[in-house]
A and B are shown apart, each in its own frame.
Chain A
């Protein structure tokens, strides 16, 4: 099969271009948003706010060398800003602590239960550490790319990542690996 069905039509106006871009990226944005907040309703709100912001900045965004990176920055910064005192943080305070992983799950490396526990535990990791973990390990960004997205230094990303992993390990009651250090 050729590239026919994948070829994006040549769009005429900025609004149409924006709409085509956003529709094509919604799934991806939603996954990142969910990985940050672990709640589909909040993820949708986060994506909604991000694409609204993107619309406002669209003329600028179109000139970015990597538009995906541009919109990811918008999303991460809105997430962090809302965590600073918005309803995200108020809700997080009432979150149910994760149940300790059962002994068998702790022994078995790959485990659906553990993945579920990870999601619950991640919701209890402080927002900046959580964002660093998600960008590094879920979005597969380098330390430098993560630093650019978070607006901080590479050293800060490294320390936030290490603290985040340590917090997760404590919550999940699993032992560290040398890769964490």
Chain B
């Protein structure tokens, strides 16, 4: 028995191709339509009557707007910035050449890994934005192989010397490509073209000498960073990578099950995780556990201690980030200090939906469009307001 309704929360994938919508073109087309309408109204009175009849038949849009006024109120646009002000920053929404930025994750307190997207939806490039200096540095392009049409990078993962991502052509069933790009910048290389069970990539880890990934049915594979044949890693059956070197025995979205083990893939250490009676959706990082218990969200240290209730609700997309933060629907909670901050609803009638980053492992940024004194004005679109968890103090 399964309730399908909550699945609609994830109806739109976080990873989205850049927008092809052109607001300027809409203005120009709208002006043409207005002129045409005025000309018709002036020359053919019956046409105006027909327009009136159409409005009557379909209902007044303005009236509908009024009837819908009880829709969920738009969240306070300022709510995200009230706490953890040191972690809030604003960056341009687009590169100097017009490509739209999507924050991937934070590399440090002052460095954001960004994806700059093309209007065609595929490819793009990776950049690092220095929030202290206020400028971006191009790492390299995300190539689109010849002959592919709907080819999209799925998630990006930074490592010590390389940044990796996997990409899929939506028309090619069960095939994935793994790409790497030097973190210092350069040219991307196609590391592996995956088919079969190894192609069902769910998460990547990037080491100095290789790229590892787990697949949806569990188990890990690896390929040398210099290229070669992918190999299944023995002894990893049923494990799901969370963030290198940590792996779990449950899938990310499978919150119907409690995590029962945390594995350090570097040392081989396996930590059993007994769940409190009645706990559901339990997830643990090395120093923290979170679960739903008696209808409340509770957190505790796996070493012991009483679970304490926190504000917010676990959702299928909730993740413990950097062994310190947990996103709980509309809030982010700091497990160390006990403070939290509001993100607002992810999908909002007010249109201030936030983006949870595009990294493979639990990311360290949340972003959304924002208007400021120098943006949203004539000829300028909104900026991106970014919450950088790597810059949270305390």
Contact = CB atoms under 8 A, between A and B. Distances in A.
Contact of B376 (A9, A176, A179): A9
Interface string A44-84: 10011001111111101101111111101110010000000
Contacts of B58: 77, 151
Q: Taking each of B6, B66, B74, B355, which has the highest tally of chain A beta carbons within 10 Å of its own beta carbon?
A: B66
A73 B385 contact: no
Contacts of B2: 106, 109, 174-175, 177
Interface string B352-394: 1101000000000000111111011110011101000000000
B374 to A, nearest CB: 8
Q: Is the interface of A mostly helix, strand, loop or mixed?
A: helix
B17 interface: yes
Nearest to B354: A27
Contacts of A149: 64, 68
Contact of B25 (A48, A69, A141): A48
B172 interface: no
Chain B interface size, as a band, is 35 or more
A85 interface: no
Contacts, number: 263
A172 B1 CA distance: 12
A4 B8 CA distance: 34
Nearest to B377: A9
A28 B31 CA distance: 24
A29 B376 contact: no
A33 to B, nearest CB: 9
Contact of B382 (A24, A64, A77): A24
B22 interface: yes
B68 A69 contact: yes
Interface string B1-35: 11111111111100011011111011101110110
B214 to A, nearest CB: 12
Interface in B328-369: 345, 347-353, 355, 368-369
Given A48-B22, A68-B71, A40 B17 contact: yes
Chain A interface size, as a band, is 35 or more
Given A9-B373, A34-B12, A165 B349 contact: no
Contacts of A114: 7
Nearest to B119: A44
Interface in B43-81: 58-59, 61-62, 64-72, 74, 77-78, 81
B78 A8 contact: no
Q: Is the interface of B mostly helix, strand, loop or mixed?
A: loop
B256 A68 contact: no
B61 A74 contact: yes
Nearest to A58: B30
B78 A3 contact: yes
Interface in A1-39: 1-9, 11, 15-16, 18-20, 22-31, 34-35
B258 interface: no
A128 to B, nearest CB: 15
Given A9-B371, A24-B371, A108-B251, A122 B347 contact: no
Contacts of A27: 351, 353, 355, 368-369
Contact of A63 (B30, B37, B62): B62
8 contacts: A6-B77, A9-B377, A66-B69, A112-B252, A113-B216, A138-B11, A151-B59, A176-B1
Interface of B: 1-12, 16-17, 19-23, 25-27, 29-31, 33-34, 37, 58-59, 61-62, 64-72, 74, 77-78, 81-82, 85, 88, 90, 121, 202, 216-217, 251-257, 316, 345, 347-353, 355, 368-373, 375-378, 381-383, 385
Interface of A: 1-9, 11, 15-16, 18-20, 22-31, 34-35, 40-41, 44, 47-48, 51-58, 60-61, 63-70, 72-74, 77, 104, 106, 108-115, 118-119, 122, 133-134, 137-142, 144-145, 148-149, 151, 165, 168-169, 172, 174-177, 179-180
Given A19-B378, A52-B30, 17 more contacts: A1-B82, A5-B81, A6-B370, A8-B371, A22-B23, A26-B21, A47-B21, A55-B27, A66-B68, A68-B74, A74-B61, A133-B8, A137-B8, A149-B64, A172-B4, A175-B1, A177-B3
